[in-house]
Structure 1
Amino acid sequence: MSAIPGEVDTDRQPPMTVPLRHFLVGLALLVAGGAVGVLDAVGTLSGLSGLAHVHLLLAGWVCVTIMGAMVQFVPVWSNVALHSRRLATAQLWLVAAGVAGMAASFSTGALGWVHAFGGLALLGFWTFVYNVGRTLLGARPWDVTERHFALALAFFAVVPAMGFALAMDYSVLFLADSPVSRVRLAAAHATLAVFGAVLTTVLGALYQLATMFTQTELHGVDTHLRRFEEVGYPVGVLALATGRLLGSAPLARVGGLLVAAALGGFAVVLGRKLVETSVERTPMLTRYAVAAVAMAAWAVLAGRAWLADPLAPSALFGGGPVHLLVFGVVGFVVLGTLYHVVPFIVWVHRYSDLLGYEQVPMIDDLYDDRLAAADFACVTLGTVGLLAATVLDLPATVTAGSGALATAGFALFAANLLVVVREHSPHPLRGVLVSRLGEGGTVADEPDDAPATTEDTAP
């Protein structure tokens, strides 16, 4: 795979505000999710606050960020125009309102409202699947990243539907008479959400981003591990989810071992790219390094746990503490990626046309290095504290303190990127959040099917 893409249509990107709006809303959901986790640890919240915490972080921050990244990345990398910018705007507010409403319902114990807000999230995710799916259909042939994205979209179509069924069961209790119990459906839903929708997207993106920004290529064992992952990982996810849905331990065990082996192999690929690079370390690559180590450790623990009992509730997300996967792997990949993508989008629209005419800052000059170092330290130490609290069964105060430290890191991270948008974006923060199509401000100013006019390079 080429480290630097050579055939990118620079006129295919959406307006700047479309992906940025997703990222900013995602950051708000991240901070809210961290706060709910801390309040849950000290027993302040009632209801199913744990579910609120999980949905704000995964369905909220991670998935909304993925939606924004695909809206930006797919048109640029795949050399096709985004199918609809109006749908890209609609998907965000439907999902954001739905996830926030579900979190509030879980936290307050108002379970009768979960399905109402879940319906909004369902419509939002399906809008996203349709919009990006139609965009991907125009790209042929698919490379490894596009194949992963297409598979992830299939998972994004199924997972919200399963979640909506679980939400409806709070009101009508139809799963009580179903051959599939609520516990099994919830386990399959969580499996397809985390390992299907989220991690499939992460893997697909890293095949491009890790090589692009380390200026390396896949070679030798990397190629063999990639081939195994491309087949073994999706088969493993489907087998693990189906085994949990049917209560079949042998099927779930085979699927789980395939998932663990595929992710362990990918951790080797990612680690090799980071070792081989001669590029100066950036916040992006530093966070990818943490993710590579966490992914390798998680694969070992998950393989052992799923070999013993893949249906155990404690092994839902693999062996060891859940924060190893959620924060250590997914969290650090998303944080690292945003440290490049957000400044990149802003830089292109603000400074790219000025190159050669006046002095302009570099992309990495837009954010504050000290804040980046501070949020990295806080998130890393907070995550380590959460892992230690789980493994060593430490008091709740340790969990709450570690969660608060990680949340402070998330807040610093969000502040750093908000300053980038506020200080360097050609649009104010309010304009990024409320303009319907971004550059023109109204639908009439920029037709939905018009190509973007700003020159760009791949993010």
Structure 2
Amino acid sequence: MGAIPGNIEADQQPPMTVPLRHFVVGLVFLVAGIGLGIGLHLNAVPGLGRLAHVHLLLAGWICITIMGAMTQFVPVWSGATLHSQRLANVQLGLVVAGLSGFVVAFLLVETAWLIPFATLMLVGFWAFAYNIIRTLATVEEYDVTERHFLGALGFFLLLTVLGVLLAIDFTVPTFSRIGVSRSRVVGAHATLAVFGAVLTTVYGALYQLGTMFTQTELHGIDHRLRSIEEIAHPIGVVVLAVGRLVGHAPAARVGGLLILFAASAFSLILARKLYEMQVERTPMHTRYMVAVGALALWIAVTVPAWISDPLTRDHLLGAANAGHLLLLGAIGFVVVGTLYHIIPFVIWVNRYSDLLGLEDVPMIDDLYDDRIAAIDGVLLGGGSALIVGANLLEVAGTPGHLGGLLVGVGVVAFVSNLVLMLVRHSPHSIDRIVLGSFSPRRAHDLDEAADD
């Protein structure tokens, strides 16, 4: 039984199809990214498959999910009206079209195609940032979540510019002409993406979700830790990105250590809220617990690596071979856990909230299948542990392949659970959610209405 928060402005949310459309499309990219990752292990993916794999999961699943989550919850949490629902739909179309073409270009090694498709993604992400910034412009005073979201939007703007420049450099060597190493630009781009746009959003959202759905509040040392994170993290991201861009190791080292210091403070806050939890544990809480452990382990192995050399490609996302620990173990489990609540929440508010007191209605966490959630939790947790362990211990072969297989099956179970929930409880069919006014079913309904 999930807690139903009472301190949000549900009447301020956009139509449910807007965020759900982002979430469903993000899940499609998740499945595609996992499938491509399995193909990479089997040496069955052509061209620049690894770059395609990374962009499907980061730009596709995680960033599109972030777009949907901000579009849904910024109006709800801030008590503001979304600036433009139409722009929210346009931003998704632009990013999907750009990313799809971008991935195909990588697989076919058609580098000239990267430029227009990267530009489409830039326009889409900038439209998203503009829409949320205009929405927040009506808020008089920003809280910790809103400040994090604004910072993340700034990182989105910067990383997409570097992304387009990298796409241009694939076809027209540009960086070498101005004495800048391409690898340095890649380092800055990845830093702004993972630690800037994604991790800043995760921190901001969890300041709300971590207290709201544990029925706890920040108190005592939590406030000092939050102040540390709010200062150290954005400064660390900027300093690390600039240090990597100009190849200045001392600056990059300081930036990296600031990011780790902030991550330590935040992981302690979240761990305290999970320990103090006043509600029954749900799949969301379990996955948050995994994420806290993964983040703590990532910090521990990354400190010596970034002190030693924060510029080398092997240490791009932390210690050597620790990328899966951060992206899958920490960020991935946060996103999975959050989707296990926000998708049911959106459906519940639109389908059942008005029926409270009139008839028996399910609770939010009753909308998905607990058994499937338990199965995908075991599969994702076990598979992630095998992958991370094989990476950190540098064990090649069976453990990593088995871990990839378990994660793949776990993702299928997770996505199936959410899709079944949409089919059973959503007032709209999946094709109406994804295609909106372009849905064949909607056109058929309009034709029948015209005949009547």
**AA matched with 1:355:** L
The equivalences for 1:364-443 within 5 A come to 364-436=365-437
Deviates further, 97-106 or 32-41: 97-106
Aligned partner of 1:295 in structure 2 is 295
Total equivalences in the alignment: 439
Aligned partner of 1:448 in structure 2 is none
Is 1:15 aligned to 2:12, yes or no?
no
**Under a length normalisation based on structure 1, what TM-score does the superposition of the two structures give?**
0.93
Separation (CA, whole Å) in 2 of partners of 1:357 and 1:185: 59
Separation (CA, whole Å) in 1 of partners of 2:82 and 2:393: 49
The equivalences for 1:434-453 within 5 A come to 434-436=435-437
Separation (CA, whole Å) in 2 of partners of 1:151 and 1:404: 36
Aligned partner of 2:224 in structure 1 is 224
Aligned partner of 2:361 in structure 1 is 360
For the 8 Å contact 1:327–1:383, the answer to whether it is kept is yes
For the 8 Å contact 2:298–2:322, the answer to whether it is kept is no
Aligned partner of 2:134 in structure 1 is 134
The CA deviation at 1:117 is: 1.4
Separation (CA, whole Å) in 1 of partners of 2:394 and 2:32: 25
The CA deviation at 1:5 is: 7.2
Aligned partner of 2:261 in structure 1 is 261
RMSD over aligned Cα, in angstroms? 1.7
Separation (CA, whole Å) in 1 of partners of 2:327 and 2:20: 23
For the 8 Å contact 1:42–1:397, the answer to whether it is kept is no
For the 8 Å contact 2:12–2:81, the answer to whether it is kept is yes
Task: Tell me the percent identity.
Answer: 53
The CA deviation at 1:394 is: 2.5
Q: Greater relative contact order (Cα 8 A, min sep 6): structure 1 or 2? A: 1
Aligned partner of 1:321 in structure 2 is 322
1:129-162, Cα deviation, whole Å (9 max, x unpaired) = 1111111111120000000000001011111110
For the 8 Å contact 2:341–2:365, the answer to whether it is kept is yes
Flag the 1:212–1:4 CA change in 2: closer, same or farther, 3 A: farther
The equivalences for 1:72-87 within 5 A come to 72-87=72-87
Separation (CA, whole Å) in 1 of partners of 2:69 and 2:102: 23
The CA deviation at 1:7 is: 5.3
Flag the 1:239–1:4 CA change in 2: closer, same or farther, 3 A: farther
Is 1:184 aligned to 2:184, yes or no?
yes
Flag the 1:244–1:4 CA change in 2: closer, same or farther, 3 A: farther
Separation (CA, whole Å) in 1 of partners of 2:398 and 2:95: 33
Separation (CA, whole Å) in 1 of partners of 2:437 and 2:20: 12
3-state SS, counterpart of residue 213 of structure 2: helix
Aligned partner of 2:90 in structure 1 is 90
**AA matched with 1:120:** L
**AA matched with 1:303:** V
Separation (CA, whole Å) in 2 of partners of 1:273 and 1:281: 12
The CA deviation at 1:125 is: 0.4
Flag the 1:25–1:365 CA change in 2: closer, same or farther, 3 A: same
Deviates further, 324-333 or 384-393: 384-393
Aligned partner of 1:456 in structure 2 is none
**AA matched with 2:113:** W
For the 8 Å contact 2:298–2:326, the answer to whether it is kept is yes
1:206-256, Cα deviation, whole Å (9 max, x unpaired) = 001001111111112211110011011100110000000010000000000
Flag the 1:302–1:159 CA change in 2: closer, same or farther, 3 A: same
Aligned partner of 2:336 in structure 1 is 335
Deviates further, 33-42 or 196-205: 33-42
**AA matched with 1:171:** T
1:105-132, Cα deviation, whole Å (9 max, x unpaired) = 2123222212221111111101101111
For the 8 Å contact 1:10–1:76, the answer to whether it is kept is yes
The equivalences for 1:50-69 within 5 A come to 50-69=50-69
The runs of 5 or more residues in structure 2 that have no matched partner are 447-452
Separation (CA, whole Å) in 1 of partners of 2:99 and 2:312: 27
For the 8 Å contact 2:252–2:311, the answer to whether it is kept is yes
Separation (CA, whole Å) in 2 of partners of 1:116 and 1:34: 25
1:350-384, Cα deviation, whole Å (9 max, x unpaired) = 11111111111111111001110111111111111
For the 8 Å contact 2:47–2:108, the answer to whether it is kept is yes
The CA deviation at 1:172 is: 1.1
**AA matched with 1:417:** L
Separation (CA, whole Å) in 1 of partners of 2:101 and 2:302: 32
For the 8 Å contact 1:42–1:396, the answer to whether it is kept is no
Is 1:125 aligned to 2:125, yes or no?
yes
Flag the 1:437–1:148 CA change in 2: closer, same or farther, 3 A: farther
The equivalences for 1:159-174 within 5 A come to 159-174=159-174
3-state SS, counterpart of residue 214 of structure 1: coil
The CA deviation at 1:11 is: 1.9
3-state SS, counterpart of residue 11 of structure 1: helix
Aligned partner of 2:37 in structure 1 is 37
Deviates further, 374-383 or 192-201: 374-383
